[in-house]
Amino acid sequence: MTNNKSKDLIFKYHKKELYQGFELQNRNIFPDLNLVGYEFIHQVTKARLVYLDKDDPNKTFGVVFKTIPQDSSGVAHILEHVVLCGSKKYPVRDPFFSMLKRSLQNFMNAFTANDWTMYPFSTVNEKDFFNLFSVYLDAAFFPKISHLSFLQEGWRVELADNSKLESDFLVKGVVFNEMKGAMSTQAEIMSRRLLQALYPTVTYHQNSGGEPVNILELTWENLKKFHETYYHPSNASFFLYGDVPLMKALKILNKNVLSNFLLGETDIAVAKEERYKKPKISQFTYPKEGEGKDLCQLMLAWLNCENIDMEKVMIFKILDNILLSNSGAPLRKALIESKLGSSLSDSSGYESELKDTFFAVGLKGVEVDDLDKVENLILDTLAKISKTTIARELIDSALHQFEITLRDLDASTYPKGLTLLLSITGGWLHGAEPLKLLDFSNQLDNVKQTLKKPRFLENLIESELLNNNHRVRVELRPEHDYLKKQDHAIAQKVQTMQKDSSLAAREFIQKNTIKLTQSQKIKENIDMLPKVELSDINLTEQGLAQDKLMLVELDKSRLGNFYYYRQPTNQMAYWQAEFSAQQLSTYEKELLPTLGLVLVGAGTANSLYDKMALKISRYTGGVDMSPNPFLIFKPGNKIVNNFVLTSKCLVENFTHLVDIIKELVAGFSLHNTSRIEDLLKQKSDGLRNHLLSAGHSYANKLAMKNLHGLASLEETYFGITQIKFAQRITKLNKGELTSLTLDLTNLAKKIFSVEPEIVLIAPEDKEDSFIESTNNNFGNSLKMFSQTSKVKPKMPPPNKKNFKIKNELCLLNTPVSYVAQTYKVGDLFSPDSPTLLVLANLLRGGFLHREIREKGGAYGAMTSYDAEKGLFSLLSYRDPNLSQTWHIFGESLRWAAGAKFSEEELSSAIIQSFSKLDKPISVRQQALRDYNLKLIGVDYEFRNSYRQALVSINFNKITKLASELLRKPSAKAAISSAEIWEQEKANLNQDDYNVHQL
């Protein structure tokens, strides 16, 4: 692959020369990424640094440390939190969260992986970049690591009544509660137990995030020792990306950090795992939900090559794609069609980030008596594949997906710089050359040549899987009392502490609680922290794609409006069709998400589902069909209920994409009830997995559904209602399933009888052929659904329905809660809208973070102003509290209404609002944003007047609006457990809650 811009890429820095204490070791030009890469090493400390010089204003920085925990106390994870709680230069309690309010950052976080810890950020503003650069460097290398920060972020015991020394002990802490929530999900348990079984002697055997019961073993002293051991420049890898002024950055880095250190330990490394001489079996448990059958997960996993073997790693990724990536992949197909389970096990696939990589595959939803059958099926299927010849179309499909990944500018939710950093971190930290890791195209070219060798992949399966004795069978079996046993183990440890505690120890706990409470109440002066000013913000919106929009007039077509966006897409094409789904019954609305699933996954009249899956993989980057409801503001606030088809491809495959969409729509066939049954089970499993990882989002949807028609529709499609519907239809008998397929067929015909609106984003020189292909091949194929040439969808009535406010509660097996409270407020066109956006940021940073996270111990506290629907929400995530959190939500509004915030806090909240508005997006996202804004009636002039209004927000506007919210009724909702609800309902009127049981 080539890029026309590559001729403009030149070297600015030269090998073996010194730059601010760094020597340039390697450099390379990457035409496909349109950047120049440099690798430096610091002369004294041997710190490593990679700079990716690219004409991209979204600058990224990251520093990564190899961190190798020797136990499951969560030391690396807790240190990641505590490091960001004050440093030598910035000795305030919480510089990280303070900088969120003083910055135009579009990404700012920290990650703890199994063997590394990373501190990255991204911003488009140069002043902001160096502000964050200074704070991050000081935090990582010169943190305070105060005892109070350890107690707050890690774990602590408190007296149930702090005025009474004889009171029982209670355990609290942010990471403690975070990991209680994380380690209650089946997916996280399988991930951790798989590593525990597969790596008996090295760090991966431990839970780097922390096992809740083991977190109580971590001491403050050991936390500080861990920092001393691993947070040294000699164990650090620095990363810069974008149009960063390199010499300025290197000078600051050398002067402020590296010049303060001598050479430290440089051979910190994960040991090579000892290999098993024969396969092992490990059994674990997970929290059972409900009263159904005892269903298990089974996973087989093999230890493979080291991750610095780049060519072999890519070959394993291709093999993973061939075996598991889609419905036509032979190993996936054999497992799903066996009916021995519902879907692939959590963590199935190839993992290349660890020093010794592994391949894993299995099934979930397996009956105990069928566990041996699943293992035998996996081994027999691999043996069969190794003895035959892998079809060339499978190999070509896998290679094509790699090329899509290289070309697609929209492939990650992270900023581009961070995506590139994450792609090289695993190999880089274990000894691979970082610039070679970035040379994806050459790696792929080499692999293509290797795969031409006769039976190469077949022999690889035999040698690296079938004949590999370092294999584990991991079983997860359901246990009703799993969470009770976890709580009991924690309680026993706390009781032992309590029993063995002296009077002096209890007094120490009492004093620490007072100190921590006092420190959390102190309003610190954070003027020492750098910040951007309102004067640094551009009040005119940047990057509009309107001038690249072409509305195409098509006659004698089955298409409605056709929009073509001329964009530099790196030779990718993005395709979208919007069908009206306006006139649907309640049942049809519940069914609509399932329709998208089966249309893509059940096959067509001409192609069985596995053949269609291979075709989609071979020529596209995937096809998705799903509901897409939204609100048209002008005229009349009308709710639009659409069904959207999306896909993407390399430009040379566009005619294939259109043919595939045409076949899926005009040639669908829903007669294969066995396949549809499999899809329904996979969907139900997927939704259930997602619930506890995004519980706050589901709680918010529950609260909002009783306040707005669009929110109600979205909850039906994407909330608890959809999870319950998915669970219900997985239990249908054969006759009921046949009836369901008829309902789906009729719903599809109803949807496709209405002419769609098309959006196409692609290079300018392709527009004529792409428009013609879409119109003739796809548009004309829709005529079969209607006798008329064009059917206009009926516009809905304005959104004037009055909703009755209700409180909602969803109960399941979880040790923590996800809490929401929502108010009906003004929408985007309300004069209050800019103030509501600022108020949301003010409440989160000025009050909720302190009260819910720092004091309450929840992992997160959030706010949300949904301007489309005019809904204002307060939320918590992995929260040990329920009624107390609802109380705090009310107190936050009283705090704002009483003007108990400073001018500095208000200014910071305004800056945060611009940070969200100006977050960089890809060319595809930009085009779709502008298309959607045009569709709903929001023009360029309005957007810029909105920005102007933000900078005029003052105390009076905030206090007036907060006071009005206090007088408004609100809708409350929570995702919690029956045990928590039983404990809490005495504090609440239980009759006010509509309870859902999952």
Which DSSP helix (H) or strand (E) runs through 663? helix 654-666
Paired strand residues for 52 = 37, 241
Q: Could you give the maximum distance between any two Cα atoms of the chain, in Å?
A: 88
Mean pLDDT of the chain: 92
Nearest CA to 811 out of 706, 717, 724, 687 is that of 724
Cα atoms in the 13 Å half-sphere on the side-chain side of 249 = 25
Position 744 pLDDT exceeds 70: yes
User: Per mean pLDDT, which range of 39-43, 165-169, 797-801 is the poorest?
Assistant: 797-801
Instruction: State the average pLDDT over residues 788-809.
Output: 61
| Strand spans (E) along 531-592 | 549-552, 562-566, 572-580
Sequence letter at residue 379: L
Question: What per-residue confidence (pLDDT) applies to 928?
Answer: 85
Question: What per-residue confidence (pLDDT) applies to 408?
Answer: 85
User: Per mean pLDDT, which range of 207-216, 254-263, 553-562 is the poorest?
Assistant: 553-562
* Structure confidence at residue 1 as a pLDDT band (50, 70, 90): very low
Position 793 pLDDT exceeds 60: no
Query: Residue 742 burial by CB count (10 A; 0-12/13-18/19+): exposed, middle or buried?
Result: exposed
Specify whether the backbone of 173 is left (phi greater than 0), alpha (psi in -120 to 50) or beta. Answer: left
The per-residue pLDDT for range 968-986, each reduced to its tens digit, is: 999 999 999 999 999 988 8
Instruction: State the average pLDDT over residues 460-475.
Output: 98
Task: Please state, in angstroms and rounded to a whole number, the distance separating the CA atoms of residues 438 and 424.
Answer: 7
- Locate tokens 């026993």: which residue? 492
User: Per mean pLDDT, which range of 590-594, 679-683, 714-718, 778-782 is the poorest?
Assistant: 778-782
Task: Please state, in angstroms and rounded to a whole number, the distance separating the CA atoms of residues 676 and 840.
Answer: 43
Cα 293 to chain centroid, rounded: 31
Instruction: State the average pLDDT over residues 916-936.
Output: 84
903-917 vs 940-950: helix axis angle to the nearest 10? 160
Paired strand residues for 641 = 629
CA angle 163, 169, 172 (to 5 degrees): 100
DSSP string, 348-411: -EEE-SSSEEEEEEEEEEEEGGGHHHHHHHHHHHHHHHHHS---HHHHHHHHHHHHHHHH-TT-
Instruction: State the average pLDDT over residues 104-112.
Output: 95
Question: What per-residue confidence (pLDDT) applies to 11?
Answer: 95
Instruction: State the average pLDDT over residues 80-90.
Output: 96
The per-residue pLDDT for range 535-555, each reduced to its tens digit, is: 888 888 765 555 566 777 766
CA angle 884, 886, 888 (to 5 degrees): 70
Residue 189 has φ and ψ, to the nearest 5°, of -65, -45
How many separate helices (H) and strands (E) can be counted in the chain? 35, 29
Nearest CA to 880 out of 853, 850, 858, 851 is that of 858
Instruction: State the average pLDDT over residues 368-388.
Output: 97
Q: Which two tokens stand for residue 838?
A: 């600022």
Instruction: State the average pLDDT over residues 984-990.
Output: 81
* Structure confidence at residue 221 as a pLDDT band (50, 70, 90): very high
> Distances in Å between the alpha carbon of 506 and those of 297, 447, 509, 511, 518?
44, 64, 5, 9, 18
* Structure confidence at residue 634 as a pLDDT band (50, 70, 90): confident
Instruction: State the average pLDDT over residues 350-377.
Output: 97
Percent of the chain at pLDDT above 90? Answer: 80
* Structure confidence at residue 287 as a pLDDT band (50, 70, 90): very high
Q: Which two tokens stand for residue 279?
A: 């396969």
Task: Please state, in angstroms and rounded to a whole number, the distance separating the CA atoms of residues 659 and 618.
Answer: 13
3-class state of residue 206 by DSSP: coil
Question: What per-residue confidence (pLDDT) applies to 763?
Answer: 86
| Strand spans (E) along 704-797 | 757-762
User: Per mean pLDDT, which range of 400-409, 472-481, 594-603, 711-720 is the poorest?
Assistant: 400-409
Residue 473 has φ and ψ, to the nearest 5°, of -110, 115
330-337 vs 371-387: helix axis angle to the nearest 10? 150
Instruction: State the average pLDDT over residues 848-872.
Output: 95
Instruction: State the average pLDDT over residues 394-421.
Output: 88
Position 3 pLDDT exceeds 50: no
Paired strand residues for 820 = 875, 973
Torsion angle defined by CA atoms of residues 236, 237, 243 and 245, in that order, rounded to the nearest 10 degrees: 40
Question: What per-residue confidence (pLDDT) applies to 622?
Answer: 95
Question: What per-residue confidence (pLDDT) applies to 542?
Answer: 65
* Structure confidence at residue 946 as a pLDDT band (50, 70, 90): very high
The per-residue pLDDT for range 817-850, each reduced to its tens digit, is: 999 999 999 999 999 999 999 999 999 999 999 9
- Locate tokens 């001329």: which residue? 566
Sequence letter at residue 718: F
Q: Which value, in Å, is the radius of gyration of the alpha carbons in the chain?
A: 28
Position 791 pLDDT exceeds 50: no
Task: Please state, in angstroms and rounded to a whole number, the distance separating the CA atoms of residues 272 and 452.
Answer: 31
Output the pTM of the full model. 0.94
The per-residue pLDDT for range 250-262, each reduced to its tens digit, is: 999 999 999 999 9
Asked if residues 472 and 280 have their Cβ atoms less than 8 Å apart, the reply is: yes
Question: What per-residue confidence (pLDDT) applies to 545?
Answer: 52
Q: Are strands 471-479 and 295-306 parallel, antiparallel or unpaired?
A: antiparallel
* Local structure of residue 787 (DSSP, 8 states): S
Q: How many CB atoms lie within 10 A of CB 855?
A: 18
Position 530 pLDDT exceeds 80: yes
Percent of the chain at pLDDT above 70? Answer: 96
Instruction: State the average pLDDT over residues 385-400.
Output: 95
Question: What per-residue confidence (pLDDT) applies to 445?
Answer: 92
Best-predicted range by mean pLDDT (217-221, 637-641, 685-689, 767-771): 217-221
| Strand spans (E) along 553-654 | 562-566, 572-580, 623-632, 638-650
Residues in the chain: 998
Task: Please state, in angstroms and rounded to a whole number, the distance separating the CA atoms of residues 508 and 514.
Answer: 10
Task: Please state, in angstroms and rounded to a whole number, the distance separating the CA atoms of residues 701 and 392.
Answer: 46
Q: Which two tokens stand for residue 778?
A: 């796809």
The per-residue pLDDT for range 334-361, each reduced to its tens digit, is: 999 999 999 999 999 999 999 999 999 9
Instruction: State the average pLDDT over residues 648-663.
Output: 95
Cis amide linkage into residue 635, ω under 30° from 0: yes
* Structure confidence at residue 474 as a pLDDT band (50, 70, 90): very high
Instruction: State the average pLDDT over residues 407-417.
Output: 81
Contacts 24+ apart (CB under 8 A), 894-899: 894/962, 894/966, 895/843, 895/846, 895/847, 896/839, 896/842, 896/843, 896/846, 896/847, 896/958, 896/959, 896/962, 897/959, 897/962, 897/963, 897/965, 897/966, 898/959, 899/955, 899/958, 899/959
